[in-house]
Amino acid sequence: MVAKSFLICFDYRLDQGAIIIHLRAEVEVHRNPTFYSVRNIRSPQHGSSPAIPEVRIIKKASVWVHCDSQKSTDLTKCIGAALDELGDR
């Protein structure tokens, strides 16, 4: 089975939202169990090199967490919010 892939854009907020970084990423959906590989996380204005390494996230009890640590971070929340927004369309 070919995994579904698409692009997302999201804002990554730092310093309690005082700094906002606009980012774009490629997302690949995996099944059984469903998780998301998010790669090539970069600023749309600054070339094609990733700014953040690939992350794998999953939604557990309505909270977006890293697959490996099962912890929620600001990054998983931002990416997850963008994914949730796509799901609402």
Per-residue pLDDT of 33-81, as tens digits, reads: 899 999 999 998 877 789 999 999 999 999 999 999 999 999 999 999 9
pTM for the model stands at: 0.88
Sheet with 55-60, side-by-side order of all strands: 4-14, 19-30, 35-42, 55-60, 63-66
**Contact between residue 58 and residue 38 where contact means Cβ atoms under 8 Å apart:** no
Q: Tell me what the mean pLDDT of segment 6-34 comes to.
A: 92
What is the rounded CA–CA span in Å between residue 17 and residue 43?
Answer: 17
Beta bridge partners of 33: none
Kindly give the residue spans of alpha helices, DSSP state H, lying in 1-89: 74-87
